[in-house]
Structure 1
Amino acid sequence: MGGLLSSYWGYSGDDELDPASGLTGKQKRLVTETWGIMRQDPMKLGIAVMMRLFTKHPEYRSQFHAFKDTPHEDLPKNKRFQAHASAIANALSTIIDSLKDPGLLEAILISLGEKHHKRGQTVEQFNNLKLVLLVVFKEFLGSRWTPEVNNAWSKALDFVYSIIFKVYA
């Protein structure tokens, strides 16, 4: 499987640094392998991310017109909320799956950035989402979440955000 993952990312060595992403082969492998675990229940993952985000930043709910007036505890049962939660997990899957095609990845991320920028989301909100993602990923992975996995995901999200933030420049 290591060979498949290595060819997937385009780098065979754990220590080889991808100049575009700043990630080593090992970091890419860790992100891919752990995402394979987390993506098994996208709805649960997306709901956990959104609930954590709204708990930490309740002011963000006002930007989600479809469910902004739904009581916090009822959000997981709200179909519009579930749809957005699922969209988050699916977007993450699309991003991870597109890492092997830099041109496609950039197009996806620029489009994502444009859509969110038009809706008024800020760089600060994206950065707050990154912190939430790391906490939720740690919860989902349990003992598999090591400092090395945390570092790999942090760097991967920084790389993804560097492309999204081109829209904000």
Structure 2
Amino acid sequence: MGNTSAVSCLNDGAEGVHLNKYLTARQLELVQDTWDIMKTDLPTLGLTVFLKLFQTEPDLKRLFPKIVQMNDKNELEWEVDRDMLQRHAVTVMEGLGAAVESLDDSDFLNSVLVSIGQTHVKRHVKPAMLKRLWPSLNHGFQTMLGEVYTKETMEAWRRLYTYISSQMKRGMNDPDAKLSCDDVGTT
């Protein structure tokens, strides 16, 4: 399963965590197999996830000022620019897909996820908000996969999302750290 030493890619020497401590080989296989099904329709998956997120976590719509319209009282409206939302949702799903396709290289995956966490700080996303996306992702996966989305598969995806969130939080907690993977193998 990829590299055996934990590497951080952050100059602060923070210890990297490897995916094989979060998911079994079987869980990795379930994630990859179901991603192969879902990646064929990223626009539908992404819209399903984000519309559910806006429905269940309406306060998070403030994080999307270009997508969610404000009224003249500066209050959020339900009016959503679906084209912009779909573009954003596809970008997020493509990022998830890149993570799934990098599951065999925890060092690379960690560096990418830390960097994504750092960029989310600029968008006013707080680490505690990450867990609020899981129910909407879970809903999207269930909608796309139907009967294929078993309890075992759901648990594999939940564990992967926990891993992704933990790495993003590392970046969010140190948004100004310079990424340097030149030191791979030295931390």
Find the aligned partners of 1:124 and 1:162 in 2 and give their Cα distance: 11
- Is 2:137 the partner of 1:133? yes
- Is 2:30 the partner of 1:30? yes
Contact 1:54 1:60 in 2 (8 A): yes
SS in 1 for 2:66: coil
SS in 1 for 2:68: coil
Contact 1:21 1:159 in 2 (8 A): no
How do 1:42-81 and structure 2 match up within 5 A?
42-69=42-69, 72=78, 75=80, 78-81=82-85
Unaligned 5+ segments in structure 2 are: 3-17, 71-76, 174-187
Deviation per residue, 1:19-71 (Å, 9 max, x gap): 74421110100010011111110111111111000000111112212122076
Find the aligned partners of 1:19 and 1:120 in 2 and give their Cα distance: 27
**Higher relative contact order at CA 8 Å, sep ≥6: structure 1 or structure 2?**
2
Unaligned 5+ segments in structure 1 are: 1-8, 11-17
Name the count of aligned residue pairs: 152
How far did residue 152 of structure 1 move? 0.8
SS in 1 for 2:133: helix
Superposed CA RMSD: 1.9
- After TM superposition, which residue ranges in structure 1, 4 or more long, deviate above 6 angstroms? none
Give aligned-pair identity as a percent. Answer: 28
TM-score (norm 2): 0.74
The residue type equivalent to 2:34 in the other structure is T
Find the aligned partners of 1:128 and 1:37 in 2 and give their Cα distance: 24
Find the aligned partners of 1:43 and 1:159 in 2 and give their Cα distance: 24
- Where is the helix percentage greater, Structure 1 or Structure 2? 1
The residue type equivalent to 1:166 in the other structure is R
How do 1:78-157 and structure 2 match up within 5 A?
78-157=82-161
Moved more, 32-41 or 56-65: 56-65
1:78 and 1:40, CA in 2 relative to 1: closer, same or farther beyond 3 A? same
The residue type equivalent to 1:57 in the other structure is E
1:26 and 1:84, CA in 2 relative to 1: closer, same or farther beyond 3 A? same
Moved more, 85-94 or 18-27: 18-27
The residue type equivalent to 1:64 in the other structure is F
Find the aligned partners of 1:58 and 1:45 in 2 and give their Cα distance: 19
Find the aligned partners of 1:147 and 1:109 in 2 and give their Cα distance: 26
- Structure exhibiting the larger radius of gyration computed from Cα positions: 2
- Where is the strand percentage greater, Structure 1 or Structure 2? 2
Find the aligned partners of 1:168 and 1:58 in 2 and give their Cα distance: 22
